[in-house]
Structure 1
């Protein structure tokens, strides 16, 4: 069954405690945390202080998505007790191998992330060491934007590379995923779906079940 990561960036921040309590009763697999620095993406969100509070408040595993320049400088700050995955963009650092190795040295799952216009070939050199690959299905930092259909081809290619080379990484997609496009992603090999706007537009427990039941 597909795993669902709820993107907190899309939810109402002023009611964060209420939202976290709702997720504790829902069949959610991860809390997806978009760390934004205002440089790599236009917005600023989820500094280390609030993420530490979330980690202390909830035991739901954290899926950290670092949309920041020079992410290797911040990796240690987000290696928290409930952090399971730390993802970094291949576009954000010239030292992608070193940064991924640092994540693994902290006993966290290392994820490499690619933007919609970044060729999959760019990350082939690190596919043998990563635990997860995140394919952006919208441009980063554009919550609610239209889902980019070519994501299906990219997920399928990563699935083929995984099978051909006996790699063990999971494939995740992030951006405008809902009950209309998730089945196509699952059919092409997706393991983890990040959803935000769809989950928060109604009762979160009901919306998550909609996705899981497809």
Structure 2
């Protein structure tokens, strides 16, 4: 399977959004949109209104990561904004996971679930077959620039083995410190979608097209392509 890349839009140059999206439209596979409420995590970032504003110039799916205490409040606004994926944290939907998953699908969006570093795959075992994507956090959620938690490589391998054994259709995605130092280990463990932020993409060059080329060169070297 061809590796996929999902740039984190909170890391982009927000003064040049349209120009940067036009560069990424022909290179990326998704746009990762972090939505934080200041409660589930202490930071506040992007929003459904941001998604609505940029959607007309996006040629690939918007992938929304809900770091929020009450994800149900965000589902309909995001669906109306035209996003492709809605991805709450497993810990926030435990009481009504099936209803939330079915609601997101019923509104025409795909469903992802995000696992914090300390949350095991077994936490979502009863509905994992319904998911389009499972995201493994390799840092604690809420802030960029944290160190990579290597114990998560085993969790990625577990998701890969389960997917192959059961024939599940979810994508295996990683969020946190995806860069030249980790690309090789992440790919070997079974990562299919790499969320890239400051260290993996945006800080590599002021010219985003050049930064993308450098990222791909780093990736290819890391996986011996």
TM-score by length of 2: 0.89
Distance 1:106 1:188 in 2: 33
C-alpha contact 2:139 2:175 (8 A) present in aligned 1: yes
Q: Name the residue aligned to 1:102.
A: 103
Report the count of equivalent residues. 213
Q: Does 1:199 align with 2:201?
A: yes
Instruction: Give how far 1:21 is off.
Output: 2.5
Aligned ranges 1:167-186 → 2 under 5 Å: 167-186=168-187
1:45-104 Cα offsets, whole Å, 9 max, x none, are 112111111112222211111111110121111125752211110112321221111111
Aligned ranges 1:122-201 → 2 under 5 Å: 122-197=123-198, 198-201=200-203
Unaligned ranges ≥5, structure 2? none
Q: Name the residue aligned to 2:63.
A: 63
Q: Which has the higher strand share?
A: 1
Q: Which has the higher helix share?
A: 2
Instruction: Look up the SS of the partner of 1:87 in the other structure.
Output: strand
Instruction: Look up the SS of the partner of 2:125 in the other structure.
Output: helix
Aligned ranges 1:25-44 → 2 under 5 Å: 25=26, 27-44=27-44
The change in CA–CA distance for 1:212 and 1:103 in structure 2 (over 3 A counts) is: farther
Q: Does 1:52 align with 2:52?
A: yes
C-alpha contact 1:22 1:205 (8 A) present in aligned 2: no
Question: Bigger shift: 197-206 or 150-159?
Answer: 197-206
C-alpha contact 1:23 1:204 (8 A) present in aligned 2: no
Instruction: Look up the SS of the partner of 2:135 in the other structure.
Output: strand
Distance 1:207 1:81 in 2: 32
C-alpha contact 1:3 1:212 (8 A) present in aligned 2: no
Instruction: Look up the SS of the partner of 2:126 in the other structure.
Output: helix
TM-score by length of 1: 0.93
C-alpha contact 2:183 2:219 (8 A) present in aligned 1: no
